[in-house]
Chain A
Amino acid sequence: MKGKRILTGKYFMMGNTACAEGAIAAGCELAAGYPITPATEIANRLAERFPQVGGVFLQVEDEISAIAAIIGASWTGKKVITATSGPGISLMLENIGFAVGVETPCVIVNVQRGAPTTGMPTAGVTGDMVQVKRGSHGDYEIIALCPSSPQEMFDHTVLAFNYAEKYRTPVFILSDAFVGHMREEVVIPPPEQIETVYRKLPEPGTDPTQIKGFLDEDVAPMPIFGRGFKAHVTSSCHDEYGKRNLSDVSALDHFVRKLSNKILKHKDEIIRVEKNYQDAEVVLVSYGAVSRAAAMAALRAGEEGLAVGTFRLITAWPFPEEEIEKMARKAKKIIVLENNLGQLYPYIKAAAAHYADVYFLPPRVLGEIHDPENILKKIREVIQ
């Protein structure tokens, strides 16, 4: 092999490149995608690096095919990824629901851009925060991470694979053009320091008719193809054995609830937040790159003698409502900062408004990260 699989070392690296390296470090072997700004660097990097280390990047005819191909490959036991931006996610949504329904581990990167529609491809706007959770039809749960730096593009991608494998679910990296194209110091640790998880499989030689490969809230073993498990994998309503049932609504109820509870039951293990709000009167709630501007605003507010804390969602989904409620019980006022017109704001407000006043502040111009000066202005305004 010409290339090293894990490029241990320190780099001044672009976020999208770090994401691709994170995938390789996590043991991903197959990616499929379609070119789209501002995510293309991930495909380019994987296309260059994968063949050197035993993987394959497939450039397919559209994003529908990209998500389908990675789901198909995941069912053969491979760790898989696709990277796109909002328009690509819009095309993938039906098959994202498929991946949820048949419990397929996969990582989907959305380097979000100025939207709706074609919008402004090079502008970083986190406008698809709810789409990944609510875009495909029906009730379902997914996991989504919000990196704020190139280092986190690497770290979160590794974590996303681990979550995908552990919970047999699609996991999203909700980046944006700003973080995807950001360059910063990235440290890739030695292989032994990178934790990687692989999905549970049925015991080899198990009688195929006895394999309960679906709908276990504690995650069923995945009867991957090619091992004699004779898996019947259907996105139609099915039972633990994969057997289709299209006539009994109680089977549907069971199907939907088990799938959702598989994530919700493990919320405490999945959810990650960054908290720094002890004794704070005002707490700035944010995620992604905006959280870095929030950190600076809180620091400057402290210099002015104002008690301002921060709360950062690292996982947007499952939604950390208990953590937000806990924070709201301590804070008097909460300012939600998002680089959009308020996508997670209603969810945050619903969790916090009983205990604290909740305000929303978009950036002065969508596509720019909030100026800490403007955040300070808002802090002074809500304190009065």
Chain B
Amino acid sequence: MSELINPLHRFIRPGVTSTTNCPGCGNGIVAQAILRAIDELSMDLDDCVFASGIGCSAWVPSPFFNADVLHTTHGRPIAFALGIKMGLPQKKVMVVSGDGDLAAIGGNHLIHNARRNVEMTVICLNNSIYGMTGGQAAPTTPMGLKTTTTPYGAYENTFDISNLVIAAGASFVARWTTYHPRQLTASIKKAIRKKGFSFIEVITQCPVQYGRKTGSGSAVEMLREYKEKSVSVKEAAKLSEEDLQDRIIVGELIDKEKPEMVEEIMKMKKRASGENS
């Protein structure tokens, strides 16, 4: 009998045999979408360098992807990735981390590197909660939700991370949920090829810290909810702000051309060294 092996298995670091994800976690769906995108682009993991921060989502590439991986401090993976990109401009630099890491503690690096439009792909797994530390409120936690740090209900307005990154100047931004793995894979492929700062927000389920404690239910129930709440960019354009409340707008939110920083630096260096550009 021949052995069946997942074609993406070759991307997994040898010797890594178990996952740190809880049952039902969305990390695996996103991990698979990333690896499938790389596979479908006929790329090798050696063409990429991964950086991640702190939190459950940061463990997507670390240690599972058999690639160069820098697992950094909380909130800082994009800042590290900037240095990696400067040193290896020909490589695809990808940051995989969570909403707390990228939008709370690391918010400044997120907006400034979007502004620079430095070529890198940032994948933000947004589960609207701090999972690893036990279910605390994040800047993405919906108003009114009871978490371990908002036992009487969350009282803060939330970030729309994708819109934040668009406003900051990124050249490619898409949002999907873990209910949309194929669309997500297609957007990751586009993001990888984009000459500029590309950002993908993935609404993902944390059945343990979010589903169980907030009453959203199991992973299956949460995915069903994503399916029901999702509305495409095209459809959303026809709806009023009121209609869009509590909906998830999915799709490619922006895709534009603008000066990319590494390329601009190359031009500047030519000017400075007296070479003709």
Contact = CB atoms under 8 A, between A and B. Distances in A.
Direct interface between A and B, CB < 8 A: yes
Interface of A: 1-3, 30, 32, 51-54, 56, 58, 60-62, 64-65, 68-78, 80, 94-95, 98, 102, 208-209, 225-226, 228-236, 242-244
A203 B111 CA distance: 39
Contacts of B91: 225-226
Given A68-B76, A72-B70, A75-B70, 17 more contacts: A2-B272, A54-B273, A60-B82, A65-B108, A69-B79, A69-B80, A70-B83, A75-B87, A76-B84, A98-B73, A232-B63, A233-B71, A234-B63, A235-B72, A242-B63, A243-B15, A244-B63
Contacts of B87: 30, 72-78, 225-226
Interface of B: 13-15, 45-46, 49, 51, 62-63, 66-73, 76, 79-88, 91, 108-109, 112, 265, 268-269, 271-274
A25 to B, nearest CB: 18
A242 B15 CA distance: 12
Contact of A68 (B79, B265, B273): B79
19 contacts: A2-B272, A2-B274, A30-B86, A51-B268, A58-B86, A61-B109, A65-B79, A68-B80, A70-B83, A71-B83, A72-B51, A72-B70, A72-B79, A74-B87, A75-B84, A230-B67, A233-B70, A233-B71, A243-B63
Contacts, number: 144
A195 to B, nearest CB: 24
Closest 8 CB pairs of A and B: A76-B87, A72-B83, A51-B272, A68-B79, A69-B83, A73-B83, A234-B71, A72-B80
B69 A32 contact: no
A68 B72 contact: yes
A135 B252 CA distance: 44
A52 B270 CA distance: 8
Nearest to B112: A61
B13 A232 contact: yes
B102 to A, nearest CB: 14
A226 B68 contact: yes
Given A30-B87, A69-B86, A225-B68, A56 B269 contact: yes
B46 A51 contact: no
A60 B62 contact: no
Contact of A233 (B14, B69, B73, B81): B69
Contacts of A70: 83
B70 A3 contact: no
A244 B63 CA distance: 8
Given A225-B49, A231-B68, A234-B62, A72 B82 contact: yes
Most chain A beta-carbon contacts within 10 A, residue among B15, B68, B272: B68
A198 to B, nearest CB: 15
Contacts of B63: 232, 234, 242-244
B76 A52 contact: no
Contacts of A209: 14-15
A60 B15 CA distance: 38
A77 B68 CA distance: 13
Q: Specify which of B51, B83, B84, B88 lies most central, judged by the most chain A CB atoms within 10 Å of its CB.
A: B83
Contacts of A30: 83, 86-87
B234 to A, nearest CB: 35
B82 A58 contact: yes
A72 B83 CA distance: 5
Given A61-B108, A65-B79, A68-B72, A225 B269 contact: no
B156 to A, nearest CB: 24
B113 to A, nearest CB: 9
Contacts of B272: 2, 51-52
A289 to B, nearest CB: 33
A3 B88 CA distance: 24
Nearest to B91: A226
A54 B86 contact: no
B82 A65 contact: yes
A68 B14 CA distance: 28
Contacts of B69: 231-234
Contacts of B13: 230, 232
B49 to A, nearest CB: 5
Contacts of A52: 272-274
A121 to B, nearest CB: 23
B269 A94 contact: no
Given A75-B87, A229-B68, A235-B72, A2 B80 contact: no
A76 B86 CA distance: 9
A3 B273 contact: yes
A68 B95 CA distance: 14
Contacts of B265: 56
Given A2-B274, A73-B87, A51 B269 contact: yes
A94 B68 contact: no
Contacts of B70: 72, 75, 102, 225, 233
Contacts of B85: 72
A66 to B, nearest CB: 8
A343 B82 CA distance: 36
Given A56-B269, A98-B73, A234-B71, A65 B109 contact: yes
A75 B85 CA distance: 11
Given A73-B84, A209-B14, A230 B72 contact: no
Contacts of B83: 30, 32, 68-76, 80
